[in-house]
Structure 1
């Protein structure tokens, strides 16, 4: 299985395969609107705006597994749009750990072993996926998106 075979659901309920982003560099983030790291939405949006024309996309996946998210993905996405100007794709509430975790996060964790362990410890864990669909970096919650812009640029050039 490749990452492109995985289907995800938008905050409004539309389903699509990640193959829609084949050939792009993806930054996949588990998000929460009531978390201390929530201001990272501004940096995520700034990176998206700066590099989207080069083939970069940020994908936000709200999760309430750490009890810091609203009741639905749509409510979370609306808050992100209103409070932080987010325009990148947001998705339904997603489990990132445990028996009911979404297959995307199983895939991301399985393919980023050696980076930060096999569980997601907190909101705003970030996974960088190259144009070929390989998980190439994993960043901790505390890692500000602007701190790894050079990595994004490196993979955009490949």
Structure 2
């Protein structure tokens, strides 16, 4: 009986940390490795007009990494086919833009083939009108306990939420 929440399934207590994804090399990447860190998760694309955000993301990563901040980027080809490359091409592209943060395997962020982690992220911080990701470079900021605390849209430049990262690290 699910009346008033009685008998309803309990939400996984591990939340964010219960997911395992694949890194850009196809190896398992347990999100639990980020426990105790502030984590920014972002869907990226190498042929997107917002690709210049790689620089801002890299700057934030360099600035706060030693304080416990990490970025996990997920290449995604769902929006305008703007991430058509192979894993090697994506890796090289990101490295050429100064990205020293973790790049995951290419995924879908919406729809029937959606990466389960993204279903969790969107359920924690819905978007404007719908919870769906609208375009590349949507960003989710997670605190040290793995709670999604902010969602930033595509056009939100990384430098504009520097203070949110600093506050989450404090």
TM bracket (short chain): over 0.9
The Cα of 1:101 is off from its aligned counterpart by: 0.2
Q: Does 1:30 align with 2:34?
A: no
Aligned Cα root-mean-square deviation (Å): 1.0
Q: Match of 1:101?
A: 114
More deviation, 43-52/65-74? 65-74
Q: C-alpha distance in 1, partners of 2:51/2:40?
A: 16
Could you say which structure has the larger radius of gyration? 2
Match of 1:128 among 131, 135, 141: 141
Q: Match of 1:65?
A: 78
The Cα of 1:130 is off from its aligned counterpart by: 0.4
TM alignment of 1:36-55, pairs within 5 A: 36-55=49-68
More deviation, 33-42/73-82? 73-82
Q: TM-score, normalised by structure 2?
A: 0.88
Q: Does 1:79 align with 2:93?
A: yes
**Alpha-carbon displacement from aligned partner over 1:72-108 (angstroms, at most 9, x marks no partner):** 33321211102x1111000111100000100110000
Show structure 1 runs of 4+ deviating over 3 A. none
Tell me the number of residue pairs that the alignment of Structure 1 and Structure 2 aligns. Answer: 155
Structure 1 unpaired stretches of 5+ = none
Q: TM-score, normalised by structure 1?
A: 0.95
Structure 2 unpaired stretches of 5+ = 1-11
**Alpha-carbon displacement from aligned partner over 1:16-61 (angstroms, at most 9, x marks no partner):** 2100000000000000000000000000000000000110001110
Q: C-alpha distance in 1, partners of 2:88/2:145?
A: 30
SS at the partner of 2:125? Answer: coil
Q: Match of 2:4?
A: none
SS at the partner of 2:140? Answer: strand
